[in-house]
Amino acid sequence: MEMSKLRFVVQAPILYFSLLVVIALGIGAMLYFTDANADARYIGVLSGLVTGLGIAAIQFFTQYIEQNTLAEYKKHGLDEFLPNRKDAEYYRKLIQQTEVGDKIVVMGVTCNRLLEDFANSSNSQSQDLLEAMARNVDVTLLLPKVRYLVEPNLSDFNNKTLPKAQAIEAKYPLNFKVLYYDFEPSHSIFLAGSYCLVGPIFKDIPSRDTPAIKFHKDGRYIKPYLQYINEAIKNSSVNHA
């Protein structure tokens, strides 16, 4: 769902709430001034109406506060919290949703799991990145230079990521590239079309076990991360050494 569809405004919440309160007060006043000797059924109806309207007003006010909070989240582009990044199908759907002219940018440590799950030429069920590039989606991997890698990431990069990336780049030279930044990795960022997932990188914890937050790329909060990606691309090189 696009960001514009997620942004919603309750047009007259205060008016509706005020109307409920006014009606409840009006019926309450009628009940207050009703003769105590009046028909008990009439008094019962008025009492029920006051109670019902009071409850409705409280429920509406509570929902209004929740909607305001949700609208604030949406304004900042917040879409979802992920407790971990183990679900390959979640990423697969984001890749499959990309269209011609979109970009996929992945900033990580080795991206070995990404290539294995979505750019595996020997597995027809794991070729989503290859299919995206075939429809003219640009894919960029941003990885740290090898001096920042320690085992087992160093071996994963040399023995898995590097040969896979070279084979992909040879087949898709116009749509695939790997760039290497010269600083310690600290953020895992996955940008695919309209959505961006951001999470931390911890040395002793695999990325798949760390949380992430999904944002719409047009949200306010994600803009510094997009600038961070652009700066990293600008200052990176094709040399991994």
Residue 4's pLDDT is 44
Could you list the beta-strand ranges (E) of the chain.
78-82, 103-107, 138-144, 176-181, 187-192, 195-200, 212-216
Token pair 């407790």: residue: 83
CA distance 215 to 196: 5
| 241 inside domain | no
Considering the domain architecture, whether residues 118 and 18 belong to the same structural domain is answered as no
Model confidence, pTM: 0.73
| 240 inside domain | no
CATH number, residue 178 = 3.30.870.10
Does residue 67 sit in helix, strand or coil?
helix
Considering the domain architecture, whether residues 41 and 93 belong to the same structural domain is answered as no
End-to-end CA distance of the chain: 41
Q: What would the mean pLDDT of 94-114 be, rounded to a whole number?
A: 95
Considering the domain architecture, whether residues 88 and 133 belong to the same structural domain is answered as yes
58 pLDDT above the threshold of 90? no
| 55 inside domain | yes
> Which of the four pLDDT bands, split at 50, 70 and 90, describes residue 2?
very low
| 14 inside domain | yes
130 pLDDT above the threshold of 90? yes
Give tens-digit pLDDT for 133-191: 999 999 999 999 999 999 999 999 999 999 999 999 999 999 999 999 999 999 999 99
232 pLDDT above the threshold of 80? yes
Residue 48's pLDDT is 73
Q: What would the mean pLDDT of 23-44 be, rounded to a whole number?
A: 67
Q: If we measure between CA atoms, which residue out of 183, 185, 184 comes closest to residue 199? A: 185
71 pLDDT above the threshold of 60? yes
Last residue within a domain, chosen from 25, 51, 75: 75
Least confident of 34-48, 90-104, 146-160: 34-48
Considering the domain architecture, whether residues 41 and 139 belong to the same structural domain is answered as no
How many structural domains are present in the chain? 2
Considering the domain architecture, whether residues 58 and 115 belong to the same structural domain is answered as no
| 16 inside domain | yes
Q: Which domain holds residue 138?
A: 79-235
- Percent of the chain past pLDDT 70, that is, above it, reads 78
